[in-house]
Amino acid sequence: MEKLDINNAMYKQVLVAVDFSENSYLAIEKAQKMAKFCGANIELIHVVEIPTYPILEDVAVMGMPGIWDDDIAKSLISASDEKLKKLANDIDVISFKTIEGIASIDIVEYAKQNKCDLIVMGTHGISGFKALIGSTTNSIVNHACCDVLAVKLKD
């Protein structure tokens, strides 16, 4: 039987996906405990999904070609970045990033590009229509190139 190398089994780079919900704060708390135990770095990420508006008969959906107001987009990103910066300062996390995109795709891509070995995020209960189309957490669990810890909301 092969002996476990504890240094290779530990997480080094933990990415915490934040949507500012109660679940996000539980995920951050869990990630901080794990990072302390492993000696890992924590980075917070928030994805701003910019709404698009259809052009004439074209039906634009999130992430597909369409028109959006650049001033609104800049305002949303700036507000989110300020909120994330305050959160990071409050919990003594140095690394944080606000990006524009589609959370279920861009969190996975960001983790891959930044060689994260764990993504921590909150999860919501799935019911009705959401169960049919899936959730951001479910998509990330199924597409990430690293481990994903989905933290359930406490009762």
Percent residues over pLDDT 70 in the chain: 74
Nearest CA among 126, 144, 123 for reference residue 134: 126
Q: Is the pLDDT of residue 143 over 70?
A: yes
For residue 94, give every residue at least 6 positions away whose Cβ sits within 8 Å of its Cβ, in sequence order, or none.
Answer: 88
Tens digit of each residue's pLDDT (9 = 90 or more) over 38-91 = 999 999 999 998 766 555 444 545 555 555 567 878 888 999 999 999 999 999
Coil, strand or helix at 99 = strand
| C-beta separation of 29 from 90 below 8 A | no
What is the residue whose two structure tokens read 């891509």? 109
Domain boundaries, the chain: 6-151
Give me the CATH topology for the region 6-151: Rossmann fold (3.40.50)
Determine the 3-state secondary structure of 68 from DSSP. Answer: coil
Residue 128 binned pLDDT confidence (cut-offs 50, 70, 90): very low
User: What is the C-alpha separation between 63 and 146, in angstroms, rounded?
Assistant: 24
* The predicted structure's pLDDT at residue 35: 92
The whole-angstrom distance between residue 11's C-alpha and the CA centroid of its chain comes to 17
DSSP assignment of 43-65, as one string?
A: EEEEEE----B--TT----TTSS
The secondary element (H helix, E strand) that includes residue 122 is strand 118-122
Owner of token pair 């990071």: 88
Instruction: State the pLDDT at residue 152.
Output: 84
Do 48 and 102 contact (CB within 8 A), yes or no? Answer: no
Which of 18-22, 111-115, 144-148 bottoms out in mean pLDDT, i.e. has the lowest?
18-22
Please give the pLDDT value at position 1.
Answer: 54
> Which pLDDT belongs to residue 69?
65
**Does the pTM of the predicted model rise above 0.85?**
no
